[in-house]
Amino acid sequence: MEKRVADLWVTEYQTKNMRLGLRIKEVLCNKDTPYQHLLVVDTLEYGKVMLLDGAIQITEKDEFTYHEMMAHILMCSHPNPRRVLVVGGGDGGTVREVVKHPSLEKVYLVDIDEEVINASRRYFPSVSCELDNEKVEIKPMDAIQFIKERKDFFDIVIVDSTDPVDFAEGLFKRDFYSDVFHALRQDGMMIAQTESPFAEADIVKDAYNEMSKVFPIVKMCWGAMPTYPTGMWTYTIGSKGPDPAKPLRDVPAKTKYYSRSLHEASFVLPGFVVQLLKGEEGK
């Protein structure tokens, strides 16, 4: 008798008209947390993958492109980044990159869902490998409340959030950016992941506009992120003074995506994105 092989797939519905499917070898974790549905699968194409509420958060194969951009753009353009806050990012990838910088004294990881942190420790050791670093302090709580309680405290805030739905929706609004502004020190900077200009143009534009109402300097950069919708991802930066487009130093450890030249090039936006931010799309 011919041996039959199960054909198992996990599918992310990225928009109502677009989806990404990956063939899986094994389901490793499938549970509801107090905040969301958590799924970890081992895939043939991208290795282990974590999904929250059906949306891909990280894969073993491409996570470095996202985490290196989230961490090093600001860590390399801030004059002296000593105290850093990571909002969300319970997988630990952004923290892993932040602690590569010798100027760092403390990084606070604030993720509301402790189950995400636990799952990353178990299934993604190469991503969560610095969560026990002595410079890391983990706070499983609401980041909005955590920020409200701190004024003039952080040099850098990195908003490594999920998509702007449910409990994460407030992380894309002016009120939150204002709280971050007050939590930052005099030369402080923030960066937030702000989705794809192809799949979520309104989110990209709105996040940029909302941040521009708070910060004197707002710039956008972009990079590749293969398993996120369309593979093109944006990062929006608010600064109290330093120019995020001008790196002051090279990253102090080996990277697979980020470099000084890529840092500078990432701020060269395609024409359609420039038009989008100016409200001239379609003209």
Catalytic residues: 160
Which of 231, 222, 227 shows the shortest CA–CA distance to 276?
Answer: 222
Lookup: tokens for 43: 């895939």
160 labelled as ligand-binding?
yes
Task: Judge whether 128 is annotated as a binding position.
Answer: no
Residue 142 marked as a ligand binder: yes
Q: What's the rounded Cα separation, in Å, for the pair 25 and 86?
A: 32
Is 42 annotated to bind a ligand? Reply is no
Q: Is 53 annotated as a binding residue?
A: no
Is 162 annotated to bind a ligand? Reply is: yes
Residue 206 labeled ligand binder: no
Of the candidates 250, 253, 249, 248, which has an alpha carbon nearest to the alpha carbon of residue 100?
253
Indicate the residue type of 2: E
The dihedrals phi and psi of 182, each to the nearest 5 degrees, come to -75, -25
Does 163 belong to an annotated binding site?
A: yes
Q: How far is CA 32 from CA 14, 188, 242, in A?
A: 20, 37, 42
Q: Report the binding-site residues.
A: 36, 67, 91, 111, 142-143, 160-163
Q: Report the binding-site residues for S-methyl-5'-thioadenosine.
A: 36, 111, 142-143
Q: Report the binding-site residues for spermidine.
A: 67, 91, 160-163
